[in-house]
Amino acid sequence: MGDSTSPGAAAALVSVMMKKTNLFMQIVVNKDGTVTCPQVPALPPSADSPASPVLSRDVPLDAARGTFLHLYLPNPVPPSPAAKLPVILYFHGGGFVVLSAASIFYHNYCDTMAAAVPALAASLEYRLAPEHRLPAAYEDAEAAVAWLRDAAPEDPWVAAHGDLCFVMGSSSGGNMAFFAGVRAKKQQGAGGDLVRGLLLHQPYLGGVERTPSEANSEDDGMLPLEANDLLWRLALPEGAERDHEFCNPAKSLPHDVVAGLPRCLVTGNAADPLIDRQREFVGWLKDRGVDVVAKADSPGYHAGELFVPKKAQELCAAVREFVFASSTILTRL
């Protein structure tokens, strides 16, 4: 984690993620259908702090939607195994319902990743459910990929330091990264080949029939079963069930949709209630001919990298290995 969080603040955030006071369990669905969500501390960009080891600044994406990209650049820019730094488009988690690119633990993770890989990271502020149910987040992710294709080469940080493009997400953001790859693949010949790798960390997936890891998660401290079900009810299109393709792509997406996807890294933790889904997802991708690097058996729980520095460093190491192992076959921005 970055230096922005004191040990006391980090411990307080972890304590929120116990079953009775879990962040997701604090979501209140009001009688009028609106939702009241818990507030999480946010951090501002650091571009005005030249001594910061990682600089950050916001780039507008779509003013009407309220979306933007939070860019992170190591300071100073270190030597890279490739000619320039990889550009990693990152989607935060929160079950499509809560949290933000500026939320303290996602800001700190991107800060850590930018320095550790090293990379130029771009974290998307996207629209949240239930005010904006899926596919709204996918549309925002698609717009962010379009920014990488059309506008990023003119951005001063990207122009000077950015090179290869990857799309990454954690939890619901991992789900978004997958669908961003699917949508980008349809744009082959129009810049769709820009996305050269997908990094899917603990992708948020579900289904009507419980897996064993889901069935055993009633008292999970990070993603209790009750909260998991609520998040999907709020995020999916009105009337959709959990076997909808947005939730259960391995069951409901046509088989040929994933053919031709770029190389994928799928990472996850053994104690995650979603781990069975993630393993099934890896098998499904491989069966469709996708080149998958799977590291879904790491010890730990859902979102552990946001609270445990060692887990953050492990994830950054997996990202670094995947990105730079692919550098000889990737094209430039």
pLDDT tens digits, one per residue of 246-279:
999 999 999 889 989 999 999 999 999 999 999 9
Exposed, middle or buried: residue 175 (CB in 10 Å: 0-12, 13-18, 19+)? buried
Annotation says 171 is catalytic: yes
Q: Is the pLDDT of residue 230 over 80?
A: yes
Task: Give me the pLDDT at residue 271, please.
Answer: 95
Choose which CATH entry (3.40.50.410, 1.10.10.60, 3.40.50.1820, 3.30.365.10) describes domain 47-324.
3.40.50.1820
Q: What is the mean pLDDT of residues 227-256?
A: 96
Q: Is the pLDDT of residue 21 over 90?
A: no
Please, which pLDDT band fits residue 188 given cuts at 50, 70 and 90? Answer: low
Q: Report the run of H or E that residue 163 belongs to, with start and end.
A: strand 162-170
Q: Is the pLDDT of residue 192 over 70?
A: no
Task: Give me the pLDDT at residue 10, please.
Answer: 41
Let me know: does 60 contact 68? Beta carbons within 8 Å.
Answer: yes
Let me know: does 130 contact 235? Beta carbons within 8 Å.
Answer: yes
Of 217, 272, 276, 298, the active-site residue reads 272
Least confident of 14-18, 87-91, 104-108, 176-180: 14-18
Please, which pLDDT band fits residue 283 given cuts at 50, 70 and 90? Answer: very high
Q: Is the pLDDT of residue 4 over 60?
A: no
Task: Give me the pLDDT at residue 194, please.
Answer: 87
Q: Is the pLDDT of residue 11 over 50?
A: no
Q: Is the pLDDT of residue 72 over 70?
A: yes
Please, which pLDDT band fits residue 9 given cuts at 50, 70 and 90? Answer: very low
pLDDT tens digits, one per residue of 308-330:
999 999 999 999 999 999 765 44
Task: Give me the pLDDT at residue 290, please.
Answer: 96
Quote the Cα angle for 184-243-20, to 5°.
100
Q: Is the pLDDT of residue 65 over 70?
A: yes
- Mean pLDDT (the chain, rounded): 90
Task: Give me the pLDDT at residue 8, please.
Answer: 40
Cβ-Cβ contacts under 8 Å for 94 (sequence gap 6 or more): 100, 103, 128, 171, 172
Q: Is the pLDDT of residue 83 over 90?
A: no
| Of 328, 327, 267, the residue nearest 299 (C-alpha) | 267
- Of the two residues 134 and 49, the one the predictor is more confident about is 134
Domain limits of the chain? Answer: 47-324
Annotation says 302 is catalytic: yes
Of 171, 172, 213, 217, the active-site residue reads 171
This prediction's pTM: 0.92
Q: Is the pLDDT of residue 124 over 90?
A: yes
Please, which pLDDT band fits residue 303 given cuts at 50, 70 and 90? Answer: very high
Q: DSSP readout, 24-68? A: GGG-EE-TTS-EE-----B----TT-TT-SEEEEEEEEETTTTEE
Q: Is the pLDDT of residue 178 over 90?
A: yes
